[in-house]
Structure 1
């Protein structure tokens, strides 16, 4: 057996061996659960011919179109194969062994994975058992002893976002102390408050985004970084030969020509999120103050969240298990979907509430 490097040997990754998730009500991973319009799919089929399969990808036209859509100069954008590759490129470019990185928990799993892979020390601040987070305390921990600090805007497990002024104070504090500032905005367009408008004046800021959430293209594994052009040029050095495949570029190009597919979906999602919050409130079930396309519900205060997930799976509705952190185990994350698909969750909640009394 070939032994890996010691740092890699210490990394723990869980093998996913789940049954197929296709053609089910997928409330477990915050994906788009409303289909794209038939017109959009027809346009994709009309454009897709052998040339897109036979030719190496040509991303520049899509870069230009994406820059115009975002209102950013072309030089501030770098595509990557999903947020995973974007985050890894930050570590490859800037992080060395024994660097210290400030993170929050829960948070996107690949940040601590890459920290371990690159020999960095991760220090954490946790959300409390009521899903509150001390943003001011988090900002106060930023000093020149750190190499990097990470903030999700909003958090990818709980859905809450920092108040706008504290988001901006986080960026300013990183800049003042010489700390790399990474703001993960995977759920941008559901939540429109962004750090991206600070890029021009803050040279340490890197914003991470994805095409998987509000854009609805989770199957493509596509994302992008936003930062000052000099930083993008440094990050470009570690990118793969081709940052996106041709099919991903085709679909992103088409979507940027028909942005009503994005904004009609985000509008519906906001309605469905509020519907879910209101219905859980009627049942006496506490939920997080999410601004994304999911929320966390405190099932564990009334019944087993694990039981809820298992019962819904039998009905073709996929739900995450409760959070792994002991102090958060009462909470379960639930994605939004069209209202008629959410009713199965609400009916099961009523059933389990009755059984618990």
Structure 2
């Protein structure tokens, strides 16, 4: 029998096998409407056969990102989406047998890579009020710790981290020779950033993505910001061409047109405020932590709501985790999208309301 990496062989992976193409997709925190049509067409018109035939050139985009982030180009590494950034984190800094400290529940791909690279997950679990204890996190960071992960804000629960909390965690990790990742995938929805920490500490990386607010999840592009030394080590493990030419062109054009970002931010804010107003009006229990998603406690079981909404052409997220088993998660978007969701949701949840 041929050799298979035992960490891969025993790894359990799940995936959504059905097509999502013809649904209103409110289950994966994408922008269901995407970029403005006129802007999309403008970008596509700039893509020529010669451009696609050439290997991707990343230098210009990295320089623009560096100006945008007010750092040096040597502080930025492009990645094939956030998943690739996480893979590079573990490939470069993941010492087998060492602990990874994070909160739980959180983004599932961290757990996947923890197992894939033979590390040990040491999660600190949120309580029933969706709170997590800082002292417990700090006490969990010790000489056996290799990586600490902070998603800011954490999906799907947990408030944005405060500067006091982040600095305490970074410094405790630094004392124990552990690296810290601050995953800012939801930065534009909750503009609290710890970017300055990458220059103030030698063990900090910030991850960002174009998938969420910037609406090009299908292009698969993200980036890591850190000090020169960390970025240099990460680039050694990176693919020669980690980002495709379409992703590069869209990212360049988005950065050239900051009004596009402003418009996307405003559209999501308006839709989110509409949904919050409706939830308050109908006295629903909900949890919102400043990402582009919201947890809602429905009158019926989440799996029933999921099935009924799916019949109407809308997808939402449900969980098996006990702390989240009574909630559905809904991606927030424009008023037009939130109005469609709300009409469908209130119909299926109130019509079939349990007595």
TM-score range, shorter chain: over 0.9
Q: Find the aligned partners of 1:327 and 1:158 in 2 and give their Cα distance.
A: 10
- Corresponding residue of 2:326: 330
1:231-242 equivalent positions in 2, closer than 5 A? 231-242=230-241
- Corresponding residue of 2:309: 312
- Corresponding residue of 1:4: 4
- Corresponding residue of 1:16: 16
Q: Find the aligned partners of 2:170 and 2:259 in 1 and give their Cα distance.
A: 32
- Is 1:342 paired with 2:338? yes
For residue 134 of structure 1, report the CA deviation from its aligned partner.
2.2
Is the CA contact 2:271–2:336 (under 8 Å) kept in the aligned structure 1? no
Distance 1:47 1:348, change over 3 A: closer
1:142-221 equivalent positions in 2, closer than 5 A? 142-158=141-157, 160-221=159-220
- Corresponding residue of 1:39: 38
Is the CA contact 2:85–2:207 (under 8 Å) kept in the aligned structure 1? yes
Q: Deviations over 1:200-224 (max 9, x none)?
A: 1100001111110121110011110
Distance 1:18 1:160, change over 3 A: farther
Q: Find the aligned partners of 1:284 and 1:109 in 2 and give their Cα distance.
A: 31
Is there any run of 5+ residues in structure 1 with no aligned partner, and where? none
Distance 1:194 1:140, change over 3 A: farther
Q: Find the aligned partners of 2:22 and 2:255 in 1 and give their Cα distance.
A: 26
2:303 partner SS:
helix
For residue 179 of structure 1, report the CA deviation from its aligned partner.
1.6
1:74-89 equivalent positions in 2, closer than 5 A? 74-89=73-88
Aligned-CA RMSD value: 1.8
Length, aligned pairs only: 353
Is the CA contact 2:34–2:216 (under 8 Å) kept in the aligned structure 1? no
- Is 1:356 paired with 2:354? yes
TM-score by length of 2: 0.94
Say which is worse superposed, 75-84 or 174-183, in terms of deviation: 174-183
Q: Find the aligned partners of 1:274 and 1:165 in 2 and give their Cα distance.
A: 29
Is the CA contact 1:283–1:350 (under 8 Å) kept in the aligned structure 2? no
2:223 partner SS:
strand
Is the CA contact 2:270–2:334 (under 8 Å) kept in the aligned structure 1? no
Say which is worse superposed, 50-59 or 161-170, in terms of deviation: 161-170
Q: Find the aligned partners of 1:172 and 1:3 in 2 and give their Cα distance.
A: 41
Q: Which portions of structure 1, spanning 4 or more consecutive aligned residues, are displaced by more than 6 angstroms?
A: none
1:356 partner SS:
coil
For residue 108 of structure 1, report the CA deviation from its aligned partner.
1.4
Q: Deviations over 1:7-40 (max 9, x none)?
A: 1111111143112x22532111100123322331
Q: Find the aligned partners of 1:94 and 1:340 in 2 and give their Cα distance.
A: 44
Distance 1:348 1:54, change over 3 A: closer
- Is 1:135 paired with 2:134? yes
For residue 341 of structure 1, report the CA deviation from its aligned partner.
2.3
Q: Find the aligned partners of 2:64 and 2:254 in 1 and give their Cα distance.
A: 10
Is the CA contact 1:180–1:205 (under 8 Å) kept in the aligned structure 2? yes
Is there any run of 5+ residues in structure 2 with no aligned partner, and where? none
Q: Find the aligned partners of 2:181 and 2:166 in 1 and give their Cα distance.
A: 11
- Corresponding residue of 1:104: 103
For residue 199 of structure 1, report the CA deviation from its aligned partner.
1.0
Distance 1:280 1:164, change over 3 A: farther
Say which is worse superposed, 9-18 or 335-344, in terms of deviation: 335-344
Q: Deviations over 1:89-121 (max 9, x none)?
A: 111111121111112211111211111111111
Say which is worse superposed, 207-216 or 277-286, in terms of deviation: 277-286
For residue 3 of structure 1, report the CA deviation from its aligned partner.
4.8
Distance 1:63 1:5, change over 3 A: same
Is the CA contact 2:122–2:140 (under 8 Å) kept in the aligned structure 1? no
